[in-house]
Amino acid sequence: MNKADFACITDIQRFSVHDGPGIRTLVFFKGCPLRCSWCQNPETNNSFPEVMITENNCIGCMGCMDVCRQKAIRNAENGLLYDRSACTMCKECLEFCPSKARSITGEIKSFEEVVKIVLSDIVFYKNTGGGITVSGGEPTMQAEFVARLLRVVKENEIHTAMETCGYCEAERFLKAIEYCDMLLFDIKQTDTEIHKRFTNVGTELIMSNLKAAYDRKKDIIIRIPLIPDVNSDDENLKKTAEIAKTYNAREIHVLPFHQAGQSKWNSLDKKYDFESWSLPDPELIGHAKDILTESGVIVNVGGYGEYSSHGK
């Protein structure tokens, strides 16, 4: 299967007013090279479709076990046990489930299918200065498809943006961003060892790619997920501010940590280590904003942004 012809997509959201200027279509690609301990979208970690199970919806009818030809679902002492390694994604259990306790996250879509959806709202993009934002997961994981998609979008004179963690082999990263106007670039932690502890990767490649984007004169928005005891200390915030200033960032977006993604971890049978992690209080958020503002860059809490400079 040609990597430029098909991609695993978790969602396509039309008529969005976030993640870039104007009215936008957001394309969420499945797959991410990081394993952030606090991830709010763990369903985007793997680059293939997966079954999600909402236990609260299950009525215990055992029908899914009966229809599973691979015997991936079996009865256990504490309820039904699902063997993901045995599952072939035949979807028979989903079609049978009367309470919709089982669903699939991720769908293989063709290039033509995605382009048709994206270009269907071209009038709204042009009337509002909007466009398309590729997100994830991490869109550079499917760089060939993303590069082809953004090229077609730019040929139609539509604004393009990408939300990225920046962790990608340099050649593939440059390929993915070639036709990208704006990068919403995550800086989760400036210390490479701390970054590695919470995400499984260091910062060296990320910072190298940020410089490459700057050298190619891309509009850059720095994003920081504000997490107590992970990246909320003054030293890290000051270094983040310096990075934003060095690379001429248009804005800094502060995204306060929340627990909205916890149920997704459970639905994927994954252990969530941040279950009892404290949330940033208003005082901490305000303090972080004050430090970041010292850079001279516009700081926005919540990530909505003004995007006033996107047409530079």
Of 122, 130, 233, 136, nearest to 184 (Cα)? Answer: 136
* Cα→Cα distances 10→150, 172, 196, 242, Å: 18, 21, 26, 34
Q: For position 305, what pLDDT does the model report?
A: 67
Exposure string of 83-113, with b = 16+ CB inside 10 Å and e = fewer, is: eeeebeeeeebbeebeeebbeebbeebebee
Write the DSSP symbol of residue 284: H
- What is the domain-level CATH number for residue 19? 3.20.20.70
Query: 256: buried, middle or exposed (CB in 10 Å: 19+, 13-18, 0-12)?
Result: buried
- The predicted-structure confidence for 144-158, as pLDDT tens digits, reads as follows 999 999 999 999 999
Most confident of 59-63, 81-85, 127-131: 127-131
- What is the domain-level CATH number for residue 90? 3.30.70.20
Single-letter amino acid, residue 158: I
Q: Is residue 91 part of a domain?
A: yes
Same structural domain for residues 19 and 120? yes
Q: For position 312, what pLDDT does the model report?
A: 41
- Give residue 222's domain range: 6-47+107-301
Q: For position 3, what pLDDT does the model report?
A: 87
- The predicted-structure confidence for 226-245, as pLDDT tens digits, reads as follows 999 999 999 999 999 999 99
Token pair 């055992």: residue: 62
Same structural domain for residues 184 and 140? yes
Is residue 10 within 8 Å of residue 106, measured between CB atoms?
yes
Sorting pLDDT into bands at 50, 70 and 90, what band is 310?
very low
Sorting pLDDT into bands at 50, 70 and 90, what band is 311?
very low
Same structural domain for residues 58 and 193? no
Q: For position 68, what pLDDT does the model report?
A: 92
Q: For position 33, what pLDDT does the model report?
A: 97
CA distance 218 to 162: 11
CA distance 247 to 232: 21
Q: Is residue 306 part of a domain?
A: no
The pLDDT > 70 percentage for the chain reads 97
Same structural domain for residues 82 and 220? no
The pLDDT > 90 percentage for the chain reads 87
Q: For position 303, what pLDDT does the model report?
A: 75
Q: For position 177, what pLDDT does the model report?
A: 98
Query: 228: buried, middle or exposed (CB in 10 Å: 19+, 13-18, 0-12)?
Result: middle
- What's the full length of the chain, in residues? 312
CA distance 253 to 290: 13
68: its two tokens: 């599973």
308 pLDDT more than 70: no
270 pLDDT more than 80: yes
Q: Is residue 145 part of a domain?
A: yes
- The predicted-structure confidence for 208-230, as pLDDT tens digits, reads as follows 999 999 999 999 999 999 999 99
Computed over every residue of the chain, the mean pLDDT equals 94
Token pair 């106007």: residue: 181
Report pTM. Answer: 0.93
Domain count, the chain: 2
Same structural domain for residues 76 and 210? no
Pairing of strands 159-164, 182-186: parallel
